[in-house]
């Protein structure tokens, strides 16, 4: 198997020299092609920051990142965005309120240089389980789950190989979460996608991923397979602490 | 068990362009000295039920009920002036996000002291001592420092504990907690919940715990109301939630990914339109 994503000794900083804050401290992990990798930890542990650094949204980073065998530079080119796409946490914030679903997808498809836009939009909507009736709706006419489906369709528009999922269901009700997680599993099987999923919910990560990195204060404390995690075979005390807290919610 | 609060046939209505929208439709329940959970999805009317008890629903929203009685006194009959005395003093509410519920330009000490002095004729020094004691009760390590701090200097978990301290300082009989831990990390959630639990137990208060998180409610509460589309579809003992009878409750439980029982696919909830029309379940204590 080849690696879809390799991160080596990555550090990410925010702020300027006087109050420089190191949000990620020399993180390293590898995600195989077709695998699903989870990043878990509390808020502020740097899990989303890794995704931001990957997509070029956090420019102050050092270390090595490579996608599909290609080392990433400071600037991301179009081929990068054709390979890697991201789905954000809050579908209420990530869709433009004055653009219809059709506009959102058309713009994305144009940017990626496709010409058969019409048929592609139809297929994308079908892929994410929305009928053609949704094509000319605006975000306020959609429920939270439907919005997240549109955001997933937008991410799939460039036919990427890797999807970065930043808490894709934490703003949704559990019943809708189940629908979206099922959709993501189906899409991964159909298109042979690789997932990197950030979540604070261990049960969701355990359901979706094969392997996960546990983060605390910007450091990866442990990379653990989901099997080991379920069996409680943790190497680091923090992981077992996190497991404890998510199983027995009332301390 | 003595009944603290009895709600009978509560409706919350909002006039819209397309007619009246009923957010809560005929909910009845009573609360003793216990931990009562209200769960449901967003839009099921659970928060509206909590707010309606304190008449915190803004116009043009309307609250209608046969009665909402606290020790036999119907709160709906009280004029606004007296209702203000009930809020905080007898029934208090903790909201979801401390970021939006604390005053950003007032120190934490001043806010807690204000909450206390509104309801009791205590001197400033007395109120200060009481506030410090309360901050210690919610396990805040350096209460002196925190008293002088502003809300933005606090983490989410600390902010929520401060909110709880502020709401409990007038010593209310009933606490309504609306998603008090949803904005917090799991490890902090546990701490905040156990603090709340201890205070509620020690003071013999009634607690209404509103949440979307079924597992949390089943572990934390004594009794649970499950709401759907503004109605109560099922009432059960919290520890028996996993044997719930109603298909909606079962569907919600089935849609949760389970850490120790992996499944290939999650169950998807098929909504039956009949759930919406069935009358609310009546509950006793």
Lookup: tokens for B177: 């907690």
- pLDDT at res. B265: 84
Q: Is the dihedral of CA A158, A160, A164, A170 positive or negative?
A: positive
A43 interface with B at CB cutoff 8 Å:
yes
A212 interface with B at CB cutoff 8 Å:
no
The answer, yes or no, to whether residue B284 has pLDDT greater than 80, is: no
Q: What is the pTM of this model?
A: 0.85
The H or E element containing residue B74 is strand B73-74
Residues 6 or more apart whose CB falls under 8 angstroms from that of A39 comprise: A47, A50, A51, A196, A197, A198, A199, A212, A213, A215
Distance from C-alpha of A128 to C-alpha of A104, rounded to nearest angstrom: 15
C-beta atoms of B187 and A42 within 8 A: yes
- Compare CB distances from B262 to A176, A177, A206 and report the shortest one's residue: A206
Taking the CA of residue B258 and the nearest CA in chain A, the distance in Å comes to 6
**Domains along chain B?**
5-277 (3.40.50.300)
- pLDDT at res. B100: 83
C-beta atoms of A250 and B257 within 8 A: no
Q: Kindly identify which residue of chain A lies nearest to residue B261, measuring between CA atoms.
A: A230
Return the axis-axis angle of helices B247-254 and A174-191, rounded to nearest 10°.
40
- pLDDT at res. A16: 82
Place of tokens 């306020």: A140
Q: Quick one: how far is CA B148 from the chain centroid?
A: 28
C-beta atoms of A174 and B263 within 8 A: no
Closest by Cα among B240, B239, B244 to B228: B244
**Pick among A90, A170, A175 to test the B interface (most B CBs inside 10 A):** A175
Q: What is the phi/psi pair of residue B51, to 5°?
A: -70, -35
The answer, yes or no, to whether residue A164 has pLDDT greater than 80, is: yes
The answer, yes or no, to whether residue B149 has pLDDT greater than 60, is: yes
**Contacts A203 to B, Cβ<8 Å:** 256-259
Place of tokens 């429920």: A143
Mean pLDDT, chain A, integer: 91
**Contacts A242 to B, Cβ<8 Å:** 186-187
- pLDDT at res. B209: 95
Chain pair A-B, CB pairs under 8 angstroms: 92
pLDDT digits (tens, 9 = 90+) for B58-67: 889 999 999 9
> What burial class does residue A118 get, using C-beta atoms within 10 Å of its C-beta: 0-12 exposed, 13-18 middle, 19+ buried?
exposed
Q: What is the phi/psi pair of residue B219, to 5°?
A: -85, -30
The answer to whether B143 and B169 are in contact (CB under 8 A) is no
When pLDDT is averaged across residues B206-221 and rounded to a whole number, the result is: 91
C-beta atoms of B259 and A230 within 8 A: yes
The answer, yes or no, to whether residue B163 has pLDDT greater than 70, is: yes
- pLDDT at res. B1: 57
Taking the CA of residue B79 and the nearest CA in chain A, the distance in Å comes to 38
- pLDDT at res. B8: 94
Which residue would you say has higher pLDDT here, B96 or B128?
B128
B79 interface with A at CB cutoff 8 Å:
no
The answer, yes or no, to whether residue A2 has pLDDT greater than 80, is: no
- Compare CB distances from B257 to A173, A207, A251 and report the shortest one's residue: A207
Among B residues 39-58, those touching chain A with beta carbons less than 8 Å apart: 41-42
A181 interface with B at CB cutoff 8 Å:
yes
ipTM computed for the complex: 0.78
- Compare CB distances from A250 to B194, B252, B269 and report the shortest one's residue: B194
Given pLDDT bands bounded at 50, 70 and 90, which one contains residue B283? low
Return the axis-axis angle of helices A101-111 and A144-156, rounded to nearest 10°.
20
Distance from C-alpha of B87 to C-alpha of B66, rounded to nearest angstrom: 20
Pick the CATH number of A3-247 from 3.50.50.60, 3.40.50.300, 3.30.2350.10, 3.30.420.40: 3.40.50.300
Return the bridge partners of A87, or none. Answer: A165
- Exposure class string for B118-132: b at 16+ Cβ within 10 A, else e: ebeeeeeeebbebbb
C-beta atoms of A248 and B190 within 8 A: yes
The answer to whether A154 and A99 are in contact (CB under 8 A) is no
Lookup: tokens for B57: 């629903």
B212 interface with A at CB cutoff 8 Å:
yes
The answer, yes or no, to whether residue B154 has pLDDT greater than 90, is: no
pLDDT digits (tens, 9 = 90+) for B51-85: 999 999 988 999 999 999 999 899 999 999 999 98
Left, alpha or beta for B245 (phi > 0: left; psi -120 to 50: alpha)?
alpha
- pLDDT at res. B261: 78
Taking the CA of residue A235 and the nearest CA in chain B, the distance in Å comes to 18
Which residue would you say has higher pLDDT here, B185 or A85?
A85
Residues 6 or more apart whose CB falls under 8 angstroms from that of B195 comprise: B137, B138, B139, B161, B164
**Contacts B258 to A, Cβ<8 Å:** 203, 207
Given pLDDT bands bounded at 50, 70 and 90, which one contains residue A210? very high
pLDDT digits (tens, 9 = 90+) for A9-61: 999 998 887 888 899 999 999 999 999 999 998 888 889 999 999 999 999 99
> What burial class does residue A190 get, using C-beta atoms within 10 Å of its C-beta: 0-12 exposed, 13-18 middle, 19+ buried?
exposed
Given pLDDT bands bounded at 50, 70 and 90, which one contains residue B273? confident
Given pLDDT bands bounded at 50, 70 and 90, which one contains residue B186? confident
Instruction: Indicate the pairing of strand A219-225 with strand A70-71.
Output: unpaired
C-beta atoms of B186 and A42 within 8 A: yes
B60 interface with A at CB cutoff 8 Å:
no
The answer, yes or no, to whether residue A98 has pLDDT greater than 60, is: yes
Taking the CA of residue B134 and the nearest CA in chain A, the distance in Å comes to 21
Q: How far is CA B223 from CA A148, B43, B206, B208, B279, in A?
A: 34, 21, 12, 10, 20
Taking the CA of residue B126 and the nearest CA in chain A, the distance in Å comes to 33
Place of tokens 């269901």: A169
C-beta atoms of A251 and B191 within 8 A: yes
- pLDDT at res. A225: 95
């Amino acid at each position: 198997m080849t690696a879809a994503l390799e991160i080596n000794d990555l550090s990410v900083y925010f702020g300027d020299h006087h109050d420089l804050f190191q949000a990620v401290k020399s993180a390293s992990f590898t995600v195989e092609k077709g695998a699903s990798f989870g990043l878990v930890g509390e808020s502020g542990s740097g899990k989303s920051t890794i995704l931001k650094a990957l997509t070029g949204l956090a420019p102050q980073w050092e270390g090595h990142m490579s996608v599909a065998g290609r080392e990433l530079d400071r600037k991301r080119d179009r081929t990068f965005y054709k390979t890697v796409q991201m789905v954000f946490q809050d579908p209420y914030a990530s869709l433009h309120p004055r653009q219809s679903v059709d506009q959102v997808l058309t713009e994305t498809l144009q940017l990626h240089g496709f010409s058969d836009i019409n048929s592609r939009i139809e297929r994308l909507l079908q892929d994410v389980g929305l009928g053609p009736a949704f094509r000319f709706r605006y975000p306020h006419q959609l429920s939270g789950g439907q919005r997240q489906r549109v955001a997933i369709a937008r991410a799939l528009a460039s036919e990427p190989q890797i999807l970065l999922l930043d808490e894709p269901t934490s703003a949704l009700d559990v019943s809708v979460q189940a629908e979206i997680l099922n959709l993501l599993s189906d899409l991964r099987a159909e298109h042979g996608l690789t997932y990197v999923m950030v979540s604070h919910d261990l049960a969701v990560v355990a359901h979706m991923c094969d392997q996960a990195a546990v983060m605390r204060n910007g450091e990866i404390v442990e990379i653990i397979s989901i099997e080991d995690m379920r069996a409680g075979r943790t190497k680091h005390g923090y992981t077992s602490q996190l497991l404890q807290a998510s199983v027995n919610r009332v301390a | 068990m003595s009944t603290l609060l009895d709600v009978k046939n509560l409706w919350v209505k909002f006039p819209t362009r397309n007619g009246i929208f009923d957010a809560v439709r005929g909910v009845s329940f009573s609360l003793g000295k216990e931990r009562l959970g209200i769960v449901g999805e967003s839009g099921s009317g659970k928060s509206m039920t909590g707010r309606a008890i304190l008449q915190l629903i803004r116009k043009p929203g309307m609250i209608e009920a046969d009665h909402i009685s606290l020790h036999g006194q119907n709160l709906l009959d009280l004029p606004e002036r007296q209702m203000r005395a009930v809020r905080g003093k007898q029934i208090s509410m903790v909201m979801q996000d401390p970021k939006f519920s604390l005053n950003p330009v007032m120190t934490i000490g001043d806010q807690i002291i204000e909450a206390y002095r509104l309801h009791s004729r205590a001197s400033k020094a007395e109120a200060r001592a009481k506030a410090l004691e309360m901050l210690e009760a919610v396990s805040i390590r350096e209460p002196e420092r925190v008293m002088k701090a502003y809300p933005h200097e606090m983490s989410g978990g600390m902010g929520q504990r401060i909110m709880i301290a502020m709401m409990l300082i007038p010593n209310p009989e009933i606490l309504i907690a609306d998603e008090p831990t949803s904005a917090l990390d799991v490890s902090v959630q546990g701490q905040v919940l156990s603090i709340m639990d201890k205070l509620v137990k020690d003071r013999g208060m009634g607690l209404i715990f509103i949440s979307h998180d079924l597992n949390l409610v089943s572990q934390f509460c004594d009794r649970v109301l499950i709401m759907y589309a503004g109605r109560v579809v099922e009432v059960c003992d919290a520890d028996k939630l996993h044997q719930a009878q109603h298909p909606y409750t079962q569907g919600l439980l089935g849609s949760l990914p389970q850490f120790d029982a992996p499944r290939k696919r999650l169950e998807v909830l098929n909504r039956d339109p009949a759930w919406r029309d069935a009358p609310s379940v009546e509950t006793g204590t």
